[in-house]
């Protein structure tokens, strides 16, 4: 069994091992044996981690107890992020580390088996994180992690989040997204009722809303099982706030992108493919509906709003958006022209990529967040698109040479 453990953030100069590259390290059985044999040498009182450790958890648990002990003198706030390996999870982990938090993440066990593939967004901060393997499909595993970590704040970002895929597998989207949220909330209620809870709601809950722009009072009308599942999580969050007094807030986040976005989403797909075309690595870009309009912001700005929501005296729901929309065609034109390409020479519209029920336009009104959280979007759509194209172009060019 291997355990990921930070050597510096919480433990100060406690003489912890680190890899020469400063990257993640694995604590071996041999290393734990050395601590157990001679705990004082490592500044640990005898019995502390033996008494607290959970045999089912193996060495990850012992590692956690060591971290817990080391962190005590620093009075760090402890955050637990579900979905830490995703775009938002990685930005949020950076933000929280920068604010002096002890940051824990829940990941799937399979991600630990191929860390270079699944944990690529966390590579640069791996040695500062504490990762726990658990599944959103298992209440027992979620409960165990909460019991162990006892977080002050929980950011629940994990979900099946690709709308197109939700049409292919409605059942797993709904099961994972609704039950997973319910498990997390129930664990908080039982284990750490004072923990702040952030739920990653989505503009997809509005669907084809009758009113534009959409705000916190706009009626929901989801158009996909993803939107329905997020709406279920949103109502659960509100219910735990009202019924059990959990400090539970929901962000209704409109589309937010970055170079860390998955390739299945249209922004990254367009920017990445445009860069490949420029480098002679692709011959066309196949897309669906060019006329769909979205309110696209920068993910790095949006995680600030998540954190701000949990710093409020009373929990609430907030729309987070830019208030501007652009079409998929605008996105394509901008990305291709940035590389001095005429998009009409390269783009093929493929009806198979249309959705069975499309949302034509989503635009958010974030005035409540501006007023109550002091939050504003930072990066413009133009800058965001250019940044994404540039980063993909550089990476592909370097990989080729």
CB of 33 to ligand GDP, least distance (A): 48
- Residue 335 CB, shortest distance to ligand GDP, in Å, is 13
Q: Distance (Å, rounded) from C-alpha 80 to C-alpha 74?
A: 18
- Shortest distance in whole angstroms from residue 43 CB to ligand GDP: 48
Task: Give burial (CB, 10 Å; 0-12/13-18/19+) of 24.
Answer: buried
Contact (CB, 8 A) for 343 and 337 = yes
> Is 226 a catalytic site residue?
yes
| Least distance to ligand GDP, CB of residue 254, Å | 9
Cα–Cα dist 370/193, whole Å: 28
Q: Is 291 a catalytic residue?
A: no
**136-158 CB burial, b ≥16 within 10 A, e <16:** beebebbbbbbebbebbbbbbbb
User: 141 vs 224, which CB is nearer to ligand GDP?
Assistant: 224
Active-site pick, 94, 102, 204, 257: 204
Does an H or E element contain 300, and which? helix 299-309
The residues near 380 (Cβ < 8 Å, ≥ 6 apart) are none
The residue whose Cβ lies closest to ligand GDP is 292
Nearer to ligand GDP, 6 or 177 (CB): 177
Question: Could you give the CA distance from residue 19 to residue 91 in angstroms, rounded to a whole number?
Answer: 24
Strand pairing of 196-202 and 153-156? parallel
We find the least distance from the C-beta atom of residue 104 to ligand GDP, in angstroms, to be 27
The Cα–Cα gap between 268 and 229 comes to 24
Q: Is the Cβ of residue 204 or residue 317 nearer to ligand GDP in the bound state?
A: 204
Residues that bind ligand GDP (CB under 6 A): 163-164, 255, 264-267, 269, 287-289, 292, 294, 328, 353, 355, 358
Residue 53 vs 225, nearer CB to ligand GDP: 225
Q: Minimum CB separation from ligand GDP for residue 385, in Å?
A: 13
Nearer to ligand GDP, 6 or 225 (CB): 225
Q: How far apart are CA 349 and CA 6, in angstroms?
A: 47
Nearest CA-CA partner of 5 in 67, 55, 56, 58 = 67
Catalytic residue among 202, 203, 225, 229: 202
DSSP state of 399: H
Measure the CA–CA gap between 40 and 183, rounded to whole angstroms.
Answer: 39
Nearer to ligand GDP among residue 143 and residue 265 (C-beta): 265
- Contact, 246 vs 188, CB < 8 A? yes
How far apart CA 252 and CA 195 sit, in angstroms, is 20
- Write the CA distances from 166 to 65, 85, 172, 327, integer angstroms: 39, 20, 8, 22
Choose, from 69, 226, 298, 366, the residue flagged as catalytic.
226
Minimum Å distance from CB 292 to ligand GDP?
3
Residue 295 or 317 having the CB closest to ligand GDP = 295
Q: Active-site residues: which are they?
A: 202, 204, 226
């Amino acid at each position: 069994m291997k355990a990921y453990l930070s050597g510096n953030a919480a433990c100060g100069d406690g003489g912890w091992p680190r890899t020469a590259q400063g990257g993640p390290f694995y604590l071996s059985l041999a290393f734990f044996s050395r601590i157990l044999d001679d705990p004082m040498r490592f500044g640990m009182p005898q019995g502390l981690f033996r008494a607290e450790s959970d045999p089912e958890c193996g060495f990850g648990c012992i590692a956690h107890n060591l971290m817990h002990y080391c962190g005590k003198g620093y009075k760090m706030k402890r955050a637990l992020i579900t979905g830490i390996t995703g775009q938002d999870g990685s930005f949020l982990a950076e933000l929280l580390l920068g604010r002096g938090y002890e940051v824990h993440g829940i990941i799937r066990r399979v991600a630990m088996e191929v860390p270079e593939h699944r944990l690529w967004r966390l590579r640069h901060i791996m040695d500062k994180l504490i990762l726990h393997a658990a599944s959103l499909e298992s209440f027992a595993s979620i409960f165990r992690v909460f019991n162990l970590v006892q977080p002050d704040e929980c950011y629940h970002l994990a979900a099946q989040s690709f709308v197109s895929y939700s049409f292919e597998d409605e059942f797993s989207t709904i099961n994972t997204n609704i039950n997973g949220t319910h498990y997390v909330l129930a664990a908080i209620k039982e284990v750490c009722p004072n923990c702040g809870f952030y739920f990653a709601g989505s503009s997809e809950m509005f669907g084809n809303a009758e009113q534009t722009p959409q705000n916190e009072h706009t009626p929901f009308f989801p158009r996909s099982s993803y939107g329905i599942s997020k709406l279920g999580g949103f109502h659960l969050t509100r219910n735990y706030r009202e019924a059990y007094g959990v400090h539970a807030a929901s962000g209704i986040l409109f589309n937010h992108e970055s170079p860390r976005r998955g390739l299945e989403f249209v922004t990254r797909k367009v920017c990445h493919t445009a860069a490949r075309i420029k480098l002679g690595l692709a011959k066309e870009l196949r897309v669906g509906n060019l006329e769909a309009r979205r309110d696209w912001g920068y993910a790095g700005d949006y995680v600030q709003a998540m954190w701000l929501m949990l710093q409020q005296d009373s929990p609430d729901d907030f729309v987070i958006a830019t208030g501007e929309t652009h079409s998929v065609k605008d996105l394509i034109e901008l990305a291709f022209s940035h590389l001095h390409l005429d998009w009409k020479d390269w783009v093929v519209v493929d009806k198979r990529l249309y959705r069975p029920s499309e949302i034509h336009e989503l635009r958010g009104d974030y005035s409540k967040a501006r007023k109550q959280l002091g939050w504003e979007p930072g990066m413009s759509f133009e800058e965001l698109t250019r940044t994404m194209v540039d980063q993909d172009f550089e990476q592909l060019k370097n990989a080729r040479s």
